[in-house]
């Protein structure tokens, strides 16, 4: 029986969300695998086995150490939303330790996590994305030029933060400075994007023994200005699965999602978000560690597709670890 280390927690604002996702996964853990929860945080990384034995993870050796034994995990499942999991840092650490993992690798995770670089990469393959302006902390900028280039309303986002932390929808030019300051609180690089008006949908993709599988699309109807933290986690949105769009368009978006998954060299589950505008679907964001709590979208997609969560993770472990 292989022992899977589930890395959760992390250093970002999404610490608690990661723990919630991990608890859902643990409650549906695949038969034939055992788990050890590894909570990544500042200071010692605490661990707990499925039998309740507590200890710490030694980042120098890759061993789980308790008062009674030392265990080396067979593989990792990184379920940290944000730093240092979704951005690829932990993947690099596991690579150095020689510990395989089911997730996208360090390069794919880092590229997908950065909203600016990911969209520029996809744009080079003629995948429609919003017009945008990149800005580093400390750089000079001209607000009037930005508004002239992108129009109003527009979005201001940190390039490397999840769960809509630090995102502002700007409707008037006098709100630009506050929006820029808010985004910079989450990181030293931000992106300003033109507003895309339309229907928001998202598609989950993962690899099976028979190739890539795209899950039913979910339509997101936020009660707030956009799909922010409250809408995602505090019930301020309607998440309708399957999405209320025609089958031909849904199939097109599913195929586009699979193409993006392949272009970015993703692994395990990923979720690609779109806005369907008059000109067609535009990519908003790629999530390599999508939420998996009881309130999250992917479990709802699985339910719609008639796929048990335990079977879903069994297939991911079996497929992704087969060549590791």
Please determine, for residue 231, whether its predicted confidence score (pLDDT) is greater than 50: no
Nearest-angstrom CA–CA distance, 88 and 295 = 25
CATH number at residue 158: 3.30.1490.20
Pair 31, 69 in one domain: yes
Per the structure, the complete domain to which residue 31 belongs is given by 2-101
- Residue 35, CB-side half-sphere exposure with 13 Å CA sphere: 22
Query: Cα(237)–Cα(114) distance, rounded to whole angstroms?
Result: 25
Tell me: the pLDDT tens digits for 86-131?
999 999 999 999 999 999 999 999 999 999 999 999 999 999 999 9
Cis peptide before 281 (omega within 30 of 0): no
Which one of 174, 194, 214 terminates a domain? 194
Looking at the fold, whether 120 and 266 belong to one and the same domain comes out as yes
Distance CA 288, CA 307 (A): 20
| 233 and 279 co-located in one domain | yes
Q: Cα–Cα distance between 153 and 148 in angstroms, integer?
A: 11
Task: Compare 187 and 5 and report the one with higher pLDDT.
Answer: 5
Do 208 and 163 fall into the same domain?
Answer: no
Beta strand ranges found along 215-258 (DSSP E): 218-222, 237-240
Chain centre distance of CA 261? 13
The pLDDT assigned to 234 comes to 53
pLDDT one-digit tens code per residue, 123-158: 999 999 999 999 999 999 999 999 999 999 999 999
DSSP label at residue 2: E
Quickly count: other Cβ atoms within 10 Å of residue 27's Cβ: 10
pTM for this one?
Answer: 0.92
* pLDDT(69) > 80: yes
For the record, the structure tokens of 6 come out as 């589930």
* β-strand partners of 258: none
Q: Are residues 212 and 310 in the same domain?
A: yes
Same domain, 32 and 96: yes
Query: What's the CATH code of the domain at 6?
Result: 3.40.50.20
**Mean pLDDT across the chain, nearest whole number?**
93
Dist. CA 301–CA 271, nearest whole Å = 11
Q: Report the domain count for the chain.
A: 3
My answer on whether 118 and 261 are in the same domain is yes
């Amino acid at each position: 029986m292989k022992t899977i280390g589930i890395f959760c927690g992390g250093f970002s604002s999404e610490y608690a969300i990661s723990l919630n996702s991990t608890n859902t996964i643990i409650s549906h853990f695949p038969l034939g695998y055992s788990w050890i929860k590894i909570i990544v945080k500042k200071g010692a990384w605490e661990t707990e086995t499925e039998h309740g034995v507590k200890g710490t993870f030694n980042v120098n050796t890759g061993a789980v150490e308790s008062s009674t034994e030392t265990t080396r995990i067979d593989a990792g499942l990184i379920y940290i939303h944000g730093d240092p999991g979704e951005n690829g840092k932990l993947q690099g650490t596991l690579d150095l330790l020689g510990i395989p993992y089911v997730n996208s690798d360090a390069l794919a995770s880092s590229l997908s996590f950065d909203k600016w670089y990911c969209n520029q990469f996809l744009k080079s393959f003629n995948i429609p994305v919003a017009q945008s302006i990149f800005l580093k902390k400390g750089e000079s900028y001209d607000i009037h030029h930005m508004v002239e280039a992108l129009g109003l309303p527009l979005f201001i986002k940190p390039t490397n933060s999840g769960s809509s932390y630090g995102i502002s929808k700007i409707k008037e030019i006098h709100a630009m400075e506050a929006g820029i300051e808010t985004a910079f609180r989450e990181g030293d690089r931000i992106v300003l994007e033109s507003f895309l008006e339309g229907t928001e949908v998202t598609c989950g993709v993962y690899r099976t023994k028979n190739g890539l599988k795209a899950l039913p699309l979910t339509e997101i109807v936020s009660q707030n200005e956009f799909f922010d933290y409250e809408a995602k986690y505090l019930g301020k949105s309607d998440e309708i699965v399957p999405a209320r769009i025609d089958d031909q368009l849904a199939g097109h978006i599913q195929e586009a999602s699979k193409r993006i998954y392949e272009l970015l060299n993703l692994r395990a589950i990923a979720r690609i978000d779109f806005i369907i505008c008059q000109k067609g679907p535009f990519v908003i964001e790629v999530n390599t560690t999508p939420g998996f709590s009881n309130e999250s979208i992917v479990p709802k997609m699985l339910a719609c597709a008639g796929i048990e969560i335990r079977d879903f993770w069994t297939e991911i472990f079996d497929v992704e670890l087969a060549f590791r």
